[in-house]
A and B are shown apart, each in its own frame.
Chain A
Amino acid sequence: MAASGEPTIDALGQFKLATAFGPIGASVNFTQANLLMIVAGLLTFGLLYYGMKPRAVVPGRLQAAAEMAYQFVYDMCIDQIGHEGKRFFPFVFTLFFFVLIGNLLGLLPYSFTYTSHIAITAALAVAVIIIVTAVAIIENGSHFFTEYFFPKGTPKLLAPLIIPIEIISYLSRPVSLSVRLFANMVAGHVMFEVFATFTVLLSGIAGIGWALAVLPIVVNVALMGFELLVACLQAYVFAILTCIYLHDAVHLH
């Protein structure tokens, strides 16, 4: 797509990794993605630490936010997993806030979305699936393999059909979990880039170009609102699917 001279849409350039902190960061390959992951961790920790410091009966603003965040994820665990959900609450809470703050930090100008890299979402999804499988084996022992992939009461005749389907659907979970988050973030940021490039291209038109160039900016403002929704929604979906998988692991369907 190399049209010489004309400005082109460089949609994927924004996802390039660069080292942070100058030569010191470069020597240990410390990228801006790593930096933002640390920032996300510190923000979550700060919300909970400074939010819960006053321990007031009538919560202030920060304490109310911390309590709401806690309660939201806690209710999600209990609703989806059931009584056993309490044990998995710290894991789900960590995942939810890591993904949520990663998505939201990416919307700041000149920032970087670490969840737009398949390496990071895939690592999260693989961690989820390994923990789910480990929980299933610890909870149910060898019943897991017989009952999960061939539920009780299924006609024996259907076994050659059911078992491969169950195995494939189980193995495709980490793929869909990681690609969903990654694709959402990439698509959103590519759309920003495409419409921002339209502004540059339209302003090149002589005469009315400057007036026309406002239109893509308006679209980008609307997109920013949509992306805020998507950022929260995808973090929610990631967390709730983890809960659903954990429910399957504990209760075997």
Chain B
Amino acid sequence: MDVAAAKALGAGIAVIALAGVGVGIGNIFSSLVSSIARNPSARDQVFGLGILGFALTEAVALFALLIAFLILFT
């Protein structure tokens, strides 16, 4: 296998982690929606927490993406 093909495969494998991140972000927003639906007055407090959780989870996706970039471009 030549190096370019191996790099492309490696980058593809590196972003499998995004599946887990998708589940995580879906979980965060599903619980955010259901908690606001149960108690709309708590929206202001819960929304900030949800966005914080989203940002922390998204960071995990970006770690995987960064590895893919490193494999592809360096």
Within 8 A of A (CB), among B6-41: 7
From the candidates A1, A183, A237, name the one contacting B62 in the complex (CB within 8 A): A183
Q: Are B63 and A240 in contact (CB under 8 A)?
A: no
From the candidates A184, A190, A240, name the one contacting B59 in the complex (CB within 8 A): A184
For B55, B69, B72, B73, the residue with the greatest tally of chain A CB atoms inside 10 Å of its CB is B55
Q: Are A183 and B55 in contact (CB under 8 A)?
A: no
With CB as the reference atom, state the residue of chain A lying closest to B45: A79
Bits for A67-94, please: 1 = Cβ < 8 Å to B, else 0: 0000000000000000000000000000
Q: Does A113 contact B (CB under 8 A)?
A: no
Given contacts A1-B4, A179-B63, A180-B62, is CB(A186)–CB(B52) below 8 Å? no
- Give the Cβ gap from A171 to chain B, nearest Cβ, in Å: 17
From the candidates A1, A12, A186, A234, name the one contacting B55 in the complex (CB within 8 A): A234
B residues near A12, Cβ cutoff 8 Å? 69, 73-74
Q: Are B66 and A180 in contact (CB under 8 A)?
A: no
Q: Does B65 contact A (CB under 8 A)?
A: yes
Given contacts A187-B65, A237-B52, A240-B52, is CB(A1)–CB(B59) below 8 Å? no
Q: Does B56 contact A (CB under 8 A)?
A: yes
A240 to B55, CA, bound (A): 12
Interface magnitude class on chain B: 10 to 19
Q: Are A176 and B59 in contact (CB under 8 A)?
A: yes
- Give the Cβ gap from B10 to chain A, nearest Cβ, in Å: 13
Q: Does A163 contact B (CB under 8 A)?
A: no
Q: Are B59 and A183 in contact (CB under 8 A)?
A: yes
A176 to B62, CA, bound (A): 11
For A1, A183, A237, the residue with the greatest tally of chain B CB atoms inside 10 Å of its CB is A183
A residues near B63, Cβ cutoff 8 Å? 179, 183
From the candidates A11, A176, A183, A234, name the one contacting B73 in the complex (CB within 8 A): A11
B residues near A234, Cβ cutoff 8 Å? 55
Q: Does A233 contact B (CB under 8 A)?
A: yes
B residues near A183, Cβ cutoff 8 Å? 59, 62-63, 65-66
With CB as the reference atom, state the residue of chain B lying closest to A10: B73
Q: Does B42 contact A (CB under 8 A)?
A: no
Instruction: List 4 additional A-B contacts (Cβ < 8 Å) besides A179-B66, A187-B66.
Output: A1-B72, A11-B69, A11-B73, A184-B58
- Pairs of residues from A and B, 3 with the lowest C-beta to C-beta distance, nearest first: A183-B62, A180-B59, A237-B55
Q: Can you name 29 A-B residue pairings with CB atoms under 8 Å? A: A1-B4, A1-B7, A1-B72, A1-B73, A11-B69, A11-B72, A12-B69, A12-B73, A12-B74, A176-B59, A179-B63, A179-B66, A180-B56, A180-B62, A183-B59, A183-B62, A183-B65, A183-B66, A184-B59, A184-B62, A187-B62, A187-B66, A187-B69, A190-B69, A233-B51, A234-B55, A236-B55, A237-B52, A240-B52
Binding site for A on B (CB under 8 A): 4, 7, 51-52, 55-56, 58-59, 62-63, 65-66, 69, 72-74
